[in-house]
Amino acid sequence: MARKGGTRERVYEYVRKRILEGTPPTVREVQRELGFRAVQSAQEHLDALVASGRLEKVGRVSRGYRLPGSNGTASFVPLLGSVQAGELSEAIENLDAYVAVDHDFGDRRGFALRVRGDSMIDAGILPGDIVIVCEQPDAENGEVVVALVDDEATVKRLRVRNGRVELHPENRSYPVIVPAGPLRILGRVVEVRRYLESDIRPT
Amino acid sequence: MARKGGTRERVYEYVRKRILEGTPPTVREVQRELGFRAVQSAQEHLDALVASGRLEKVGRVSRGYRLPGSNGTASFVPLLGSVQAGELSEAIENLDAYVAVDHDFGDRRGFALRVRGDSMIDAGILPGDIVIVCEQPDAENGEVVVALVDDEATVKRLRVRNGRVELHPENRSYPVIVPAGPLRILGRVVEVRRYLESDIRPT
DNA sequence: GAGTATACCCGACATATGTCTGATTTAATA
DNA sequence: TATTAAATCAGACATATGTCGGGTATACTC
């Protein structure tokens, strides 16, 4: 294999590795890692990486280097085992299970929900799967949503037919749900996850 | 003892929030956030939280507070669009798409792979899904693996029958693969993901 | 009341850390 | 050769930061 790139590249690799590990390095840690005898050498490489857009930094604070873009800035959303009626914010309180997501929800909040039942199995959503949900009060036709049906959160595909909102399961064994009154939508499913090993599954 | 809404709890909430955002706070940042007039007040709360096991800290370094356990320490694994023959490590080089995972792979490395084809559709793995893989050279009977078949990476369920290794698709339209020679296993699938929106999908 | 524990405060020290000014080396170029 | 730009080094400064010793007030226990 060809020899690894120059010093600039090694600085970038090290900083990225540290950021990914959760602790961005200080300037002097970069200096020591790369074997520089002057702080300034590390500083200039970092400045150059920031100038070229490969790194970002926040003000004059320690360990202030980040990876640009939405990537690299992982956030966590609370995992709800099940959502009964009532306020969603109450269900989110006092949770200590979180799952990492690598995109943000803009102004809205996000949460995760464990799927019960096999009503969406034809859409590749199996019992026990975890859906990442963007909290919002309405949704478009065809989107997979989390809605409150009989005081319990359920995952279904939303269809608008003849001006009426319907919740379609993706399993021929289940009937289409036509809400009598107004439908309470908790959010829109943006991601589906399945953990195949018990020891890495969130509690 | 610790009453709900107490100062101790507010300190914990703030520190956790900051850690999840990627930048653990300094002692003085905690002080300012909570309105303490003395650094020591924040320090003592932090010490207490560490003593009770709700926080962890690394040495005398700045921003050294962590959330205990594997949870909270998100890492990133490289996303491979496809894996052809040859060394996996080469395919991992020069990737700038990463996905966040909230568990670690121990001594092993992890990577992500975009699934092609619908051969695992009955296992709820659809075309375009992303599998998180723990890199390892072998696997147990019944595990979903990534293996090299005809110089291309493929996702199948591994079965051992009569002492012979077989790769089983989960789709009746596809035949069982019985490797002629030794089977090259790239890793074991530990997680399946599906992004339902194009704008949050990793490149 | 004496003792004790908790929570908060004050002031301080040694080191860590971001940043700056200027010099030296190195390599490519006119 | 002289010039120029990049990379590295040297030394320093102001502030940030972890840590420490000791103080005050309140509540509770004996």
In angstroms, the CA A73 to CA A20 distance is: 9
For an interface test with A, the pick among B171, B191, B203 (most A C-beta atoms closer than 10 Å) comes out as B191
The predicted pLDDT at position A26 comes to 93
Enzyme catalytic residues of B: 119, 156
CATH of domain B75-200: 2.10.109.10
**Kindly report the CA angle at A65 between A63 and A68, in degrees rounded to 5?**
155
In angstroms, the CA A197 to CA B110 distance is: 14
Positive or negative, the Cα torsion across A44, A50, A54, A60? positive
In angstroms, the CA A107 to CA B166 distance is: 49
The predicted pLDDT at position A73 comes to 55
Residue of A nearest to B203 (CA): A71
Query: Tens digits of per-residue pLDDT, B157-198?
Result: 999 998 899 999 999 999 999 988 888 899 999 999 999 976
The predicted pLDDT at position B70 comes to 44
The predicted pLDDT at position B173 comes to 94
Tokens at residue A58, please?
């926040």
The predicted pLDDT at position A91 comes to 53
Please say if the pLDDT value at position B17 is more than 90.
no
The predicted pLDDT at position B55 comes to 87
Give the closest-approach CA distance of B47 to chain A in angstroms. 20
In this structure, how many other beta carbons lie within 10 angstroms of the beta carbon of residue B131? 24
Taking residues B104-119, report their average pLDDT: 86
The predicted pLDDT at position A162 comes to 87
In angstroms, the CA B139 to CA B142 distance is: 9
Q: Which of residues 42-101 of B touch strand C (CB under 7 A)?
A: 44-45, 48, 60-62
Query: Tens digits of per-residue pLDDT, A134-143?
Result: 999 999 999 9
Query: Tens digits of per-residue pLDDT, B57-82?
Result: 887 889 988 887 544 456 778 888 76
Q: Which nucleotide has the least CA–C1' distance to B1?
A: C6
Please say if the pLDDT value at position B143 is more than 80.
yes
Percentage, residues of chain A above pLDDT 70: 84
With an 8 Å Cβ cutoff, are B196 and A191 in contact? Answer: yes
Say which residue, B180 or A72, is predicted with more confidence: B180
For residues A46 and A11, the answer to whether their CB atoms sit within 8 Å is yes
The predicted pLDDT at position A96 comes to 59
The predicted pLDDT at position A1 comes to 33
Which of B24, B100, B190 is nearest residue A102 as measured by Cβ atoms?
A: B100
Please give the helix or strand (H or E) that residue B57 lies within, else none.
Answer: strand B56-57
Please say if the pLDDT value at position A84 is more than 60.
no
Taking residues A23-27, report their average pLDDT: 90
Domain ranges of chain A: 7-66, 75-200
pLDDT band at A119 (very low <50, low <70, confident <90, very high): very high
Please give the helix or strand (H or E) that residue B192 lies within, else none.
Answer: strand B184-195
Q: Are strands B75-80 and B98-101 parallel, antiparallel or unpaired?
A: antiparallel
Please say if the pLDDT value at position A53 is more than 90.
no
Top-ranked range on mean pLDDT: pick from A87-91, B17-21, B141-145, B161-165: B141-145
Give the three-state DSSP class for A175.
Answer: coil
The predicted pLDDT at position A51 comes to 87
Please say if the pLDDT value at position B4 is more than 50.
no
Say which residue, B118 or A200, is predicted with more confidence: B118
Positive or negative, the Cα torsion across A111, A114, A115, A116? negative
Please give the helix or strand (H or E) that residue B45 lies within, else none.
Answer: helix B39-51
Fold: same for A7-66 and A75-200: no
With an 8 Å Cβ cutoff, are A100 and B101 in contact? Answer: yes
CATH of domain A7-66: 1.10.10.10
